[in-house]
Structure 1
Amino acid sequence: MNGEYMEQTKIEEKEARSATDSMKINEREQTQIGLMRAYVETRDPSSKTKIEEKEARRARDSMKINEREQTQIGLMRAYVETQDPSSKEVDDQTLRRFLHARDLDIEKASVMFLKYLNWRRTYVVNGSISPSEVPHEIEQNKFFLQGSDKNGRPVAVLLASRHFKHKGGLDEFKRFNVYLLDKICSRMPSGQEKFVLIADLEGWGYSNSDIRAYLAALSLVQEYYPERLGKMFIVHSPYIFMSVWKILHPFIDNKTRKKIIFVDNKKLESTLLEEIDESQLPQIYGGQLPLVPAQDA
């Protein structure tokens, strides 16, 4: 009787695992995988064992990576806490992002992280930037926050043609970027650390060009918000923007470059819908959500 119960329990556990896997794969793919699996197993029964062995190897490799990361996080934490006691208040996920930004090099990641802590303490004195500190930037109404992509990453939209230099200067622009990035990060669900940006250049011209501001924003993201950008879609890009892009490109690190996609106007809607469900996509791109100004999000 106990044997039958244990056998039934094993069957139920196996079915539960299969159900979990199915949730991760869309129905069409699941059907195709099922048909293919059934076919190859009738042709070669050993294929079932080979597939299971491959899955087991992947699981073991994943465990090794996690163990290695955890060890490095522990070593990094031990070091940075001796250099700056406030490091104790930072979670492992944050340290992990800095490690990944420096290809798991503990020394380089620690230097980067300690620089971040000092910057945060001196530049964001009150812990956050308030809207009252960036009035000219907010007045331009150029940045929007609404919805999330299929991975749960918050979606932000920048209408670049609304950006102009103003009397607030570069410092207000940088503070506005900190205000935005902090707001985006606060909207990330548990377990998610990245966001998606749609940079819309429709109507952009030389009057909007601001190289110093672009470089400042790039520096902030790469130095103080590492591994936060998940993907950036540049849409409606005019030909004249490429002269600016050539200036910016050398300052973008390789990891960030791989996340930037210039979208063909003819494939705009289909490209965005691959990443963002229609119910979460802004109306101006064929979705259902209205644009919500960042300050109102």
Structure 2
Amino acid sequence: MGCVSHEAINQLKAMMDQVDEPLKRTFQNVHQGYIVETLDRFLKARDGIVAKAHKMLLDSLNWRLENGIDDILSKPIVPANFYKGVRDSQLIGVSGYTKEGLPVFALGVGLSTFDKASVQYYVQSHIQINEYRDRVILPAVTKKTGRYVGKCVKILDMSGLKLSALNQIKLLTAISTIDDLNYPEKTLTYYIVNVPYVFSACWKVVKPLLHERTKLKVQVLQGNGRDELLKIMDYSALPHFCRKEGSRSSKRGGNTSEDCYSLDHPFHQQLYNYMKKQSGNSEPTRPLKHGSVHVEMPLAGPKKAELCKALESEWKRLENQDWLHDIKIHD
């Protein structure tokens, strides 16, 4: 549904006014002074049904309390060279802003390996970026533009996507579930670029299973999407993998300050320095034994489990096709 009624928002607000102090404090970190806009997000995520939105919001606030999410920006992944490994294998960054002021998040879906640290570090890093977006970036943009900005756009680079990505489905599902349950309606549009055959085949299977609201947010662009993306952002805001034509467009260049995935990029430098400042502690020389933060990862719901099952089935089918193709070539 596109619009939530004022009556529904008022009902949910009245219910939230009754919560106890610990939940109120963490709710402040969620809404950042924009209560109506936050209630609207949770209502949209539950099709405008007040009781369901109320439960979702309470569950999210309790998750924040139980996992120390309010303090997660004071717990950087250390030391820096270990964090660099996380950044080099979990490719995400902010390349700039759209013409309307929305942050542009770039995600290297196809080239992320998630092989430099344990699952908990990747989950921690993802949540920290979410919290930095919501508590630092979006409030700063709101102040600068003079109007509320509560969403971002995401550009997903599929170049390099292989069937072996199937091994990361459980981790990606956990991260996606955390977003669905605790950061709903934070992305305006998902732009998918540099699409290989393996993604195209899977997308045909997955798309019919998606909620209509989600399908409306996804745009699969031709090639690296540069021409379409330049309609909503300047060239300087394009991620590096959208700037050039040809097969080399997705490769990470030597200038790491322009590579939005790199720890040397201004976004990651600002984020990491912010967390170190918040921590107030000297940096240890080696990673903490069990990770700085252990976040309870919620189980995927029936709908997401169905999506994962369909995706796994399609990728296995494609894998078998490739295997048969290899046999024919060698014969």
What TM-score does the superposition give when structure 2 sets the normalisation length? 0.61
Aligned-residue Cα RMSD (Å) equals 2.9
TM-fit CA distance, 1:167: 6.4
Q: Does 1:263 align with 2:236?
A: no
Q: Does 1:114 align with 2:71?
A: no
Q: Which residue of 2 aligns with 1:233?
A: 191
Change in Cα spacing, 1:138 to 1:250, as seen in structure 2 (3 Å) is farther
Change in Cα spacing, 1:249 to 1:131, as seen in structure 2 (3 Å) is farther
Change in Cα spacing, 1:168 to 1:279, as seen in structure 2 (3 Å) is closer
Q: Which residue of 2 aligns with 1:104?
A: 48
> Which one-letter code corresponds to 2:110 in the other structure?
S
**Segments of 4+ moved more than 6 angstroms:** none
Question: How far does the alpha carbon of each residue in 1:61-88 deviate from its partner, in whole angstroms, 9 at most, with x for none?
Answer: xxxx89x42x432321221332444337
> Which one-letter code corresponds to 2:179 in the other structure?
V
**Contact 1:205 1:240 (C-alpha < 8 Å) held by counterparts:** yes
- Give the Cα separation in 2 of the matches to 1:238 and 1:97: 33
- Give the Cα separation in 1 of the matches to 2:208 and 2:259: 32
Q: Does 1:77 align with 2:27?
A: no
**Contact 1:145 1:291 (C-alpha < 8 Å) held by counterparts:** no
Please, which moves more after superposition, 226-235 or 145-154? 145-154
Q: Which residue of 2 aligns with 1:184?
A: 133
Counterpart secondary structure, 1:162: coil
Q: Which residue of 1 aligns with 2:310?
A: none
**Contact 1:215 1:248 (C-alpha < 8 Å) held by counterparts:** no
TM-fit CA distance, 1:179: 1.6
> Which one-letter code corresponds to 1:292 in the other structure?
C
- Give the Cα separation in 1 of the matches to 2:203 and 2:165: 14
Counterpart secondary structure, 2:96: strand
Change in Cα spacing, 1:254 to 1:217, as seen in structure 2 (3 Å) is farther
Change in Cα spacing, 1:148 to 1:256, as seen in structure 2 (3 Å) is same
Quick one: higher RCO (CA 8 Å, sep 6+), 1 or 2? 2
> Which one-letter code corresponds to 2:232 in the other structure?
E
- Give the Cα separation in 1 of the matches to 2:69 and 2:183: 17
Q: Which residue of 1 aligns with 2:211?
A: 253
**Contact 1:218 1:252 (C-alpha < 8 Å) held by counterparts:** no
> Which one-letter code corresponds to 1:273 in the other structure?
L
> Which one-letter code corresponds to 1:132 in the other structure?
I
Match of 2:108 among 128, 148, 159: 159
Question: How far does the alpha carbon of each residue in 1:145-200 deviate from its partner, in whole angstroms, 9 at most, with x for none?
Answer: 13111221100111223322436433333222212222232312210111011110
The unaligned stretches of length 5 or more in structure 1 are 1-64
TM-fit CA distance, 1:106: 1.2
Q: Which residue of 1 aligns with 2:77?
A: 132
Change in Cα spacing, 1:167 to 1:264, as seen in structure 2 (3 Å) is closer
What TM-score does the superposition give when structure 1 sets the normalisation length? 0.67
- Give the Cα separation in 1 of the matches to 2:110 and 2:77: 23
- Give the Cα separation in 1 of the matches to 2:64 and 2:211: 22
- Give the Cα separation in 2 of the matches to 1:221 and 1:171: 15
> Which one-letter code corresponds to 1:128 in the other structure?
I
Change in Cα spacing, 1:160 to 1:97, as seen in structure 2 (3 Å) is same
Q: Which residue of 2 aligns with 1:211?
A: 169
TM-fit CA distance, 1:252: 4.3
TM-fit CA distance, 1:104: 2.2
- Give the Cα separation in 1 of the matches to 2:99 and 2:213: 21
> Which one-letter code corresponds to 2:190 in the other structure?
M
- Give the Cα separation in 2 of the matches to 1:167 and 1:284: 23
**Contact 2:98 2:232 (C-alpha < 8 Å) held by counterparts:** yes
